[in-house]
Amino acid sequence: MYEELFKKMAQSIIDGDSDASSALAQESITVGIPPLQAITDGFVIGVNTVGDAFGRGEAFLPELVMAGEAMKAAVAVLNPELKKQGTERRMLGKVVLATVEGDIHEIGKTLVGTMLGSSGFEVYDLGVDASPDKIIGKAIEVNADIIGMSALLTTTMVKQKEVIEELEKEGLRGRFKVMVGGAPITRDWFKSIKADGYSEDAVGAVRVAKQLVGAE
Amino acid sequence: MTKCIKSITNPKLKLEVLTPAEVRKIHDATLWIIEKVGVKFPSKRALDIWAANGAEVDRERKVVKVKGDLIESALKRCPPVYPLAARDPDQDLPLDGNHVFVGTDGCGVEVIDIQSGQRRLSKLQDVIDIARIADATEEVAFHWVPVSAQDTPHQTRGLHEIKAIWENSTKHVQTESIYSEHEARAAIEMASMISGGRQALRKRPVLSLMQCTAPPLGHDGGSLDAALLAAEAGIPTGFMTMSACMTTGPATMAGTLAVGNAEVIAATALLQLAYPGAPVFYAAAQYASDPRSGAYTGGGPEDFLFGAATNVLSDFYNIPLSMGSFATGAKEPDWQAGIENSLSTFMASIVMSDMLLGVGFLHGSRIWSYAEMMMDCEIFSIIEKMMQGIVVNDETLALETIAAVGPSGHFLAQKHTRQHMHDLFVPQFMDRRPYSEWESKKDDARDWASAKARKILAEHQPDPLDPKLSAEFSRIIKALEQ
């Protein structure tokens, strides 16, 4: 009965229009659509459409990012309503993300965060220059499933290893899956530091994260 | 002509990629960005210098907003001409606007092993081997740290790397892999020992420093502190922007040029405010991100245009330019590598960029290939030859010889031919053989290029560094490791 509205919701995501998506989310609450249904039958259809077009090489990266932002805006409007109704959107997992200590390069990491967020992960982005203690502390605090670390410098890559060693030392290694990435990060490095996941780009990172939580 | 070093000089070819009015418009836009939007300088020392000079400093965000006239007056103090000195004074490189010099690219993390052909993580021995080959190659005029010495401690890695290059080559070293105050201090000490003291180092800097900006509109704190130390010591210092259309810059080329320009000239002005007259250079490797993935491109029409446009900007500020060329995104030395490295290097050369970085990499400056290094050198040689243009005079018109041969003859037996045949370019890595010969061997440029690199490595003995200096360098590094 709300087919038109669902279509508009999907379209707002495809258009990457955060204003439209949050207004439609508000409208769905007003007319009494259950928020979970607004997400699944409306907004997520748009995310999937853009994701598929991107996979075929037809959509460009900014379209994917803007779809993610529009999705985030819609979910922000729907979340309080979800809580009020005692329902919860089933998330794929919690991810703590950071650029490692001594490194301030975060565009790739931020992009990974956006992609994971729009793919159903709950993302805690610690920003740049994050110490092992800060990363591990946050992972414990939010009971994360995955720790994701980026590094751009050949001299800060080693911090990824330090975090993994620290997890081992504290007996926490089994509790978190660890993903690494960044321009100098190679498959050999990923293997040598015994991380659980590695991708060369943000789209691949979503695939890896899904595998790590058993969602794919 | 510098001894054993090939450069482009006195070019006949020209290109106008930006009109003076367009350059002015980009400059004005840049000043607007620096004054109204601001640039991030996450270093206490840098923020103090800005504050002392009357800039608007937001200590919490570490963002500085500077009036255009302060930037312009600071930039006027940059020396337009200075040398990059070498351990061998005959290999000093004049940065005078009339030379294009090529360096090795850097700083990669993997190497295609020269013997086994297998890809693996880079280590100190690779820095040594590449330095030795570059030392023997006339196209390579100076060194960047080509690959990361990942088997050395990360807090002193940059020092192990420059020590290795100095020990294996007499050419100038420009490091892009030192970006902390403690390493910069030690590197300056090492350089001054080679030059013969701090004053001698100012006159003949055997080391220069390249720092990356953190686009958009930002810098790294360690880089700023290292650059200020270098400027204080009179070591040539440059800031390189790698702003990219669509990701770290606007999707439009002009906007990306302006964003990158703001990063570079704001930091350059900072060095001049702190140390007026310090030798500085402009460095850039802007690119267009791949629209589909956002990935680094390593070549493409926009990248080639950036290569030509940036020297127009650095000329406007009257400072030398270090320009990113080569650095293909290709995974193998193939069609893509050939087209990208040729066009990027041609466009950066035709406007007389002072330094080109650099030869040797695949996969966007990540995987070192000796074959690619040798082929990149040949690309530069071809361009150097093209830049000489066509000489037109009585001797080159050769009318007497033409008359002597007449219709239906040939020029192979003419004295004039013998005198001028060596003017013609002889390629090392182009296949001009009969088809049947190729068919029987099926070898190509990559095989020949790899073989040449192996031969140099087996035979070339660089002039050694004084063992006393080597021992001193080891002591300096060891002290920092304890």
What's the gap in Å between the CA of A195 and the closest CA on chain B?
17
Q: Do A61 and B246 touch (CB under 8 A)?
A: yes
Please report residues of A whose CB lies closer than 8 A to that of B293: 61, 201, 203
With a cut of 60, say whether residue B2 has pLDDT above it: no
Neighbouring residues of A66: CB distance < 8 A, sequence distance ≥ 6: A16, A18
CB of A171 within 8 Å of a chain B CB? The answer is no
* Closest by CA position to A13, among listed A54, A35, A42, A33: A42
Rounded to an integer, the average pLDDT of B396-402 is 98
Find residue B210's DSSP bridge partners: B238
Task: Look at residue B167 and tell me whether its pLDDT is greater than 90.
Answer: yes
A-B Cβ pairs (cutoff 8 Å, strict):
61
Confidence check: pLDDT of A203 > 60: yes
Residues of A whose CB is below 8 A from B148: 154-155, 184
Examine the pLDDT at A7 and tell me if it is beyond 70.
yes
Q: Are B291 and A61 an interchain contact pair (Cβ–Cβ within 8 Å)?
A: yes
Question: What is the number of alpha carbons within 13 Å of residue B282 lying toward its C-beta?
Answer: 34
What is the mean pLDDT of the segment spanning B52-75? 98
**Which is it for strands B321-324 and B280-284: parallel, antiparallel or unpaired?**
parallel
Q: Which residue type occupies A149?
A: M
Contact B292 A188 (CB under 8 A): no
Please, what is the Cα angle at B240 between B237 and B241, to 5 degrees?
155
Please state, as a whole number, how many other Cβ atoms lie within 10 Å of the Cβ of residue A48: 14
In chain A, residues with a C-beta closer than 8 Å to the C-beta of B155 are 155
Residues of chain B positioned with their CB less than 8 A from the CB of A57:
292
For residues B208 and B190, what is the distance between their CA atoms, to the nearest angstrom?
Answer: 12
Which amino acid does the sequence have at B232? E
DSSP notation for B73-89: HHHTTS-S-EEE--SSG
* pLDDT at position A216 over 80: no
Mutation target to probe the B interface, by most B beta carbons within 10 A, among A105, A155, A207 is A155
pLDDT band at B444 (very low <50, low <70, confident <90, very high): very high
- The answer to whether residue B286 scores a pLDDT higher than 60 is yes
User: Which chain B residues are Cβ-neighbours of A186 within 8 angstroms?
Assistant: 109-110, 121, 366
Whether B148 and A154 lie within 8 Å, measured CB to CB: yes
Residue B11's pLDDT band, with cuts at 50, 70 and 90, is: very high
**How buried is residue B186: exposed, middle or buried, by Cβ count under 10 Å (0-12/13-18/19+)?**
buried
Q: What is the DSSP letter of B36?
A: I
Q: Please, which residues have CB within 8 angstroms of residue B479's CB and are 6 or more apart in sequence?
A: none
CA distance A194 to chain B (A): 16
The residue-averaged pLDDT of B124-137 equals 98
Residue B245, both tokens? 């259309």
Look at B154 and A158 and tell me if their CB atoms are within 8 Å: yes
What is residue A88's predicted lDDT score, i.e. its pLDDT? 81
Q: Decide if B292 and A107 are in contact by the 8 Å CB cutoff.
A: no
Note whether A60 contacts B107, CB cutoff 8 Å.
Answer: no
Evaluate if pTM is beyond 0.90. yes
Contacts of A101 in chain B (CB under 8 A): none
Contact A62 B246 (CB under 8 A): yes
CB contact under 8 A, B42 and A158: no
A215 has a pLDDT exceeding 90: no
Cα–Cα distance, B9 to B95 (Å, whole number):
11
pLDDT value for A51: 87
Bridge partner residues of B274 (DSSP): none
Residues B137/B143/B146/B149 CA torsion (nearest 10 deg): 120
Residue from A103, A104, A161, A207 whose CB has the most chain B CBs within 10 Å, to mutate:
A104
What is d(CA A108, CA A201) in angstroms, rounded to the nearest whole number? 8
Within an 8 Å CB–CB cutoff, is residue A55 touching chain B?
Answer: no
CB contact under 8 A, B294 and A104: no
Rg of chain A's alpha carbons, rounded to an integer? 18
Tell whether B118 lies on the interface with A, counting CB pairs under 8 A. no
Q: How confident is the model at residue B1 (pLDDT cuts 50, 70, 90)?
A: very low
- Measured in degrees and rounded to the nearest 5, phi and psi for residue B426 equal -115, 110
Residue carrying the six token digits 């803007």 = A66
Range 140-199 of B in CB contact (< 8 A) with A: 148, 150, 154-155, 157-158, 177, 179
* Beta carbons within 8 Å of B203's beta carbon, 6+ residues apart: B85, B195
- Give the side-chain half-sphere CA count within 13 A for B471: 3
**Cβ-count burial A53-81 (b if 16+ within 10 Å, e if not):** bbeeeebbbebbbbbbbbbbbbbebbeeb
Q: Is A23 on the interface with B (CB under 8 A)?
A: no
- The answer to whether B291 contacts chain A (CB < 8 Å) is yes
* Pairing between β-strand B207-212 and β-strand B172-175 as defined by DSSP bridges: parallel
Q: Which residues of B touch A156 (CB under 8 A)?
A: 154
Are B146 and B473 spatial neighbours (Cβ–Cβ below 8 Å)? no
Report the relative pairing of strands B101-104 and B82-84 from DSSP bridges: unpaired
Query: CA of B150: which chain A residue's CA is closest?
Result: A154
Q: Token pair of B395, please?
A: 């001797």
- Within 10 angstroms of residue B461's Cβ, the number of other Cβ atoms is 9
State whether residue A154 sits within 8 Å of chain B by CB. yes
Binary contact (A61, B154; C-beta < 8 A): no
Summarised one tens digit per residue, pLDDT across range B205-241 is 999 999 999 999 999 999 999 999 999 999 999 999 9
Q: Which of B41, B62, B148, B154 to mutate to test the interface with A (most CBs of A within 10 A)?
A: B154
pLDDT exceeds 90 at position A38: yes
- Scanning every residue of chain A, which has its alpha carbon at the shortest distance from the alpha carbon of B294? A61
Q: Are B354 and B95 a contacting pair, CB within 8 Å? A: yes
- The 3-state DSSP class for residue A180 equals strand
The three-state secondary structure class of A52 is helix
Is some CB atom of chain B closer than 8 A to the CB atom of A136?
no
Question: Can you tell me whether residue B428 is helix, strand or coil?
Answer: coil
**Token output for B110:** 């993997």
Residues of B in contact with A155 (CB under 8 A): 148, 154-155, 157-158, 177
Q: Are strands B119-121 and B244-245 parallel, antiparallel or unpaired?
A: unpaired
Query: Do the chains contact at A104 and B214, CB–CB below 8 Å?
Result: yes
When pLDDT is averaged across residues B418-447 and rounded to a whole number, the result is 96
pLDDT given for residue B291 in this prediction: 92
Amino acid at A95: V
| Residues in a beta bridge with B356 | B102, B323
ipTM field: 0.86
A-chain CB neighbours of B291 within 8 Å are 60-62
Q: Which residues of B touch A54 (CB under 8 A)?
A: 292
Residue type present at position B208: S
B422 contact A CB<8A: no
Q: Give the minimum alpha-carbon distance from A116 to chain B in angstroms, rounded to a whole number.
A: 16
Give residue B3's pLDDT. 60
Question: What mean pLDDT is predicted for residues B397-416?
Answer: 96
pLDDT in tens, A53-109: 988 889 999 999 999 999 999 999 999 999 888 888 889 999 999 999 999 898 889
Q: Tell me the shortest Cα–Cα distance from B196 to chain A, in angstroms.
A: 30
* One-letter amino acid for residue B439 of the chain: E
Name, in order, each residue with C-beta under 8 angstroms of B399's C-beta and a sequence gap of 6 or more. none
If you average pLDDT over every residue of chain B, what do you get?
Answer: 96
Residue B111: what are its φ and ψ, rounded to 5°?
-135, 140
